[in-house]
Structure 1
Amino acid sequence: MTETIIRIQSIELEGFKNIQKGIIDLVGYRQKNYYSGKSDIVGIYGQNGSGKTTIIDAFRLFKIIASGEKLPGDIKNYIHELEDKATLKFVFYVEEKDMKFLVYYEFSLRRKDDGAQLYNEKISYSQVDENNKKRKIDIIEYDIDSALSSILPKLRYTELTRNNKENEFNLEVSKRLSIKEKTSFIFTDSLEEIFKSNSANLDYYYIINAIKRFARVNLFVITNEHSASISLNFMPLSFRMENKDGVTSGDIEINLLGTSNIDKTSYDIAVSIIKQLNVVLSTIIPNLQLEINNLGNEISKTGEEMIRIQLLSIKKDIRIPLKYESEGIKKIISILSTLISMFNNPSICLIVDELDAGIFEYLLGELLKIIEQEGKGQFIFTSHNLRALEMLRKDSLVFSTANPQNRFIRITNIKSNNNLRNVYLRGVDLGGLNECIYEETNSFEIAHAFRKAGEVFGRK
């Protein structure tokens, strides 16, 4: 069976965290070349606090919602302080055999009591042919305040309940459960089954199921919390594995300070991950290999048989605990399995915050160049290291601005002999771009502030 190909095309944020308005369109979407068979890379650069990490948080929230998981406990903090609601809009390209769609999914959050709620969702699609996309069709819209019916448009409600009156009850129950459990309504298993039973138009079921599966097993979002775990000497090994039973993805967290006890299933996955990583690792970091030291079985407090392990690094036959390697090496190791999967699979999207943290500048540039030239999946990252500006295509780079109403721009009118890094730094120093990309700082004021701050605990 041919695997469904799903590619992110666009993300638009309104009132989300520190972004009042921000749009990032991938190059293929703007050119109506939704899937070229090659990798898509988007590097996001900009001043601290200008919205780069907010994009990562938006994708993480989408993954949570589209996977059918509960909203984060701090969801109220996701709404911009000057706004009452936040709206996130995503566009995807979906292809399987001769079926090609653009899928549009959006959801809105609003403040409620001491928290926030997911009060509106909508998913639509348009078919794509050789000439252009066709008319957009609304599959379903959910509005928590709607008293007319459980779902909109009314036509869809009628279609789902006409020949199955039990669905009137099922839809209402699904809606109430999603409110109580603080989950998506559109991506609940029960709604999926209702659409699956509607033989009149299985495209609706297929599209909802495809986006849900993408969020669960093919979208990887590596946040700063991931890197923080490494700093605390816990190694989260992100992975995606395929076998005859299907696809497995997620994280296995291993304690680097001592030993870890993991179950047999996790141990088998970890062994496979290390085997995969060793194929690539020594080409990135010369002479480095990994090994799982199996220290035997133990019985947990719940009576489950566990395997006690320790992660080792090997250089020229010298074995040492992995905890003694640098932060940069540990970060590469933690995401390398998903990097390999993204490189080889056009349906996988890997999103990484602060990709450059601890990674040597030249190596970073080489990795990005290889992924852009020979990879198949999608890679979205934020970074402070400007090496990518010299290695990637100009249209693969997006810059955050100081304007919360227009948070992201691309630098245009770049000639082939221009160095984008120099153009960007000149824009920081002198301006001249469509938006201000750096809120000015003054070195003399900074130095004065340091001296003054020193007086707080020093002599007057």
Structure 2
Amino acid sequence: MDKKYDLRIIELSLHNFMNVADGRVKLSCSKDKQRNFGHSDILGIYGQNGSGKTAFIHALAIIKTCLMGQKLNDEVAAYIKKDASSMTIHIGFSACVDEEIWDIFYDVTIQQVQDDNQAKAQISAERISVCNGKNRKQTWISSDSLNVLRPKKNFNDLLKANNIALQVKKGIVQSQGRSFVFSNELYKSMEAIKNRDSISQTRFILMQLKTFATEYLYIVGIKDIGFINLSILMPFYFHIQDNNTHSFGTIAIPIDGPATIPQNACKTVETLINDMNSVLTFLIPDFQLEMQNIGDELDLQGRKMKRIELVSLRNGQAIPLKYESEGIKKILSILHVFVGAFNDSSMTVAIDEFDAGVFEYLLGEILDIFQKSGKGQLIFTSHNLRPLELLDRDFIVFTTTNPKNRYIRLKNVKSNNNLRDFYYRTILLGGQDENLYHETNQYRLQYALRKAGHHGEN
């Protein structure tokens, strides 16, 4: 089944994840039977500090890791809600396969393991379910602590051939903190079973989800932006696709001085800089990015390297990039994949604190243009309320003070309401099913501030 199709996220649910006991978000495209393929789909998440915005981005990063078959970071174990034994993430995708819509759902349960010889965060259960429009939602593949694979009727040939070997492989994969469903071990075992449509279709779905996570899903978290703020590294997220090239990922270039990078990486950097400069002209007046070539050298292994320095050009004058503002460096870091999502309906870019360091009017203009003319999917968190005045209200979700119902859309918003003003009024006066803000007691806060400043006095 060698098919080309678009794919995008339609929903995400969290259970016992960080400060989210339960929370579910359906993206706007889930309401459209055609899933808005070819048109932009945006999700902006708003709410007070510590209310579950970053948790949403972390969950997407974990899903990306699972789908790629990579090991979960040990710190993922700390995301399990206090007093809970495990956490669960549910995500829904829609795929357009030969003009037919398939909805694909992935559920993963993660537990913490207290064993220094194993991964701290391990996957205890996984399930892939599919609804192809003609049939009801069906479980295509499931793996938990009791069963290697389910339903057995679909995997009888596979289980008969090497059930014990699969059990051993699953135990090894689980102890390493990897997904068994998306592991190469399982994929190769299924590949050996011929002439079984159910196996073939399952293998196809797994590979397409893996391709999406690897090549078309980009997660930009706070930790990534931290390197920028320290002026140590500049992570460039890139997606280059033309008739001759398809390269993707992240390339980190030191900016605290001249950097040495492999010679074959220079072409990638030059391409993404040229692509970005054509857009930067309209984003930042009189600004261009340049890679200055200082010279060639060899590393300790004898590989050809280039010594370079990234500089910004303003009115023809070169300035080392490390001296630019955090906002400009952040724009440079994410611009290439933002351009990719603008033009490619298969791309999804998720950015935590999209507004950090970015001028609010420019932020609004960027999002408004993406809303009107983009093709891909953009997910972001923000504290800046300017986008609320520009984006379709279906694109906006708010966090609540209730950990058992973390994410909601505001109800009773009329077409002539300014969503920004409506949000402020809701914080002050209520009127929704859930509270959106833990009210600050100004008198107690004032007393606490005064007391903290006089801690040494009687």
Q: What residue ranges of structure 1 are gaps of 5+ in the alignment?
A: none
Cα displacement (A) at 1:174: 3.0
The TM-score normalised by the length of structure 1 is: 0.94
Partner residue, 1:137: 138
List aligned pairs for 1:53-452, cutoff 5 A.
53-113=54-114, 115-128=120-133, 134-143=135-144, 145-146=145-146, 149-161=147-159, 165=161, 167-196=162-191, 197-201=193-197, 202-233=200-231, 234-243=233-242, 247-452=246-451
Residue identity opposite 2:386 in structure 1: R
Matched letter for residue 82 of structure 1: D
Separation of aligned partners in 2, 1:442 and 1:98? 55
C-alpha deviation, 1:456, in angstroms: 2.3
The answer as to whether partners of 1:294 and 1:308 remain within 8 angstroms in 2 is yes
Amino acid in the other structure paired with 2:174: I
Are the equivalent residues in 2 in contact too, given 1:121–1:186 (CA < 8 A)?
Answer: yes
User: Is the CA contact (8 Å cut-off) linking 2:85 and 2:111 kept in structure 1?
Assistant: yes
1:241 Cα deviation from its structure 2 partner: 1.6
TM-score (norm 2): 0.94
Q: Alpha-carbon deviations, 1:282-322, whole Å to 9, x = none?
A: 10111111100011112222332211110011111111111
Quick one: distance in 2 between partners of 1:177 and 1:275? Answer: 45
How far off is 1:120 after superposition? 0.5
Q: Distance in 1 between matches of 2:131 and 2:46?
A: 32
Shift of 1:324: 1.5
- Residue-by-residue CA offset, 1:142-183 (whole Å, 9 max, x unaligned): 11x21xx52112212214346xx2x43552343133123220
SS class of match (1:187): coil
Greater shift in the superposed pair: 263-272 or 58-67: 263-272
Contact 1:160 1:198 in 2 (8 A): no
Q: Which moved more, 1:76-85 or 1:31-40?
A: 31-40
Matches of 2:166 and 2:101 in 1, distance apart? 28
- In 2, distance between residues paired with 1:369 and 1:9? 21
What is the letter of the counterpart of residue 187 of structure 2?
E
Instruction: Tell me how far apart the structure 1 counterparts of residues 165 and 101 of structure 2 sit (CA, whole Å).
Output: 30
In structure 2, give the amino acid aligned to 1:186: V
Q: Is the 8 A contact 1:107 1:122 kept in 2?
A: yes
Equivalent residues of 1:42, 1:396 under 8 A apart: yes
How much has 1:189 moved relative to structure 2?
A: 1.6
Instruction: Answer with 353-362 or 194-203: which moved more.
Output: 194-203
Structure-1 separation of matches of 2:194 and 2:9: 27
Letter in 1 for 2:10: Q
2:72 and 2:121 in contact (8 A); partners too: no
CA contact (8 A) 2:74 2:121 kept: no
2:51: which partner in 1? 50
The aligned length equals: 449
The alpha-carbon deviation at position 31 of structure 1 amounts to 4.4
- 8 A contact 2:238–2:272 mirrored in 1: yes
Aligned residue for 2:122, secondary structure, equals strand
Indicate if the aligned counterparts of 1:15 and 1:87 stay in contact, CA closer than 8 A: yes
Q: Which moved more, 1:240-249 or 1:23-32?
A: 240-249
For residue 353 of structure 1, what is the amino acid of its counterpart? D
Is the contact between residue 174 and residue 188 of structure 1 (CA under 8 Å) also seen in structure 2?
no
Q: Does the aligned pair in 1 maintain the 2:37–2:345 contact within 8 Å?
A: no
- C-alpha offsets along residues 208-245 of structure 1, whole Å, 9 cap, x if unaligned? 11111111110000000111010111110011122556
What does residue 24 of structure 2 align with?
Answer: 23
383-392 vs 412-421, which moves further: 412-421
CA offset digits 1:250-304 (Å, max 9, x no partner): 1111111101111022211111110110010110111111100011112222332
In the alignment, the residues of structure 2 paired with residue 387 and residue 261 of structure 1 have an alpha-carbon distance, to the nearest angstrom, of 40
TM-aligned CA distance change 1:182 to 1:2, over 3 Å: closer
Code of the aligned partner of 1:291: E
Alpha-carbon distance change, 116 to 189 in structure 1, aligned in 2, over 3 angstroms: closer
Q: CA RMSD in A?
A: 1.7
Contact 2:225 2:330 in 1 (8 A): yes
Q: CA offsets per residue over residues 303-354 of structure 1, 9 Å max, x none? A: 3221111001111111111111111000000000010000000000000000
The one-letter amino acid paired with 2:83 is L
Bigger shift: residues 220-229 or 111-120: 111-120
CA displacement, residues 380-403 of structure 1 (integer Å, 9 cap, x when unaligned): 000000001001001100000000
Between the aligned partners of 1:3 and 1:288, the Cα distance in structure 2 is 38
Worse-matched range after superposition: 439-448 or 68-77:
439-448
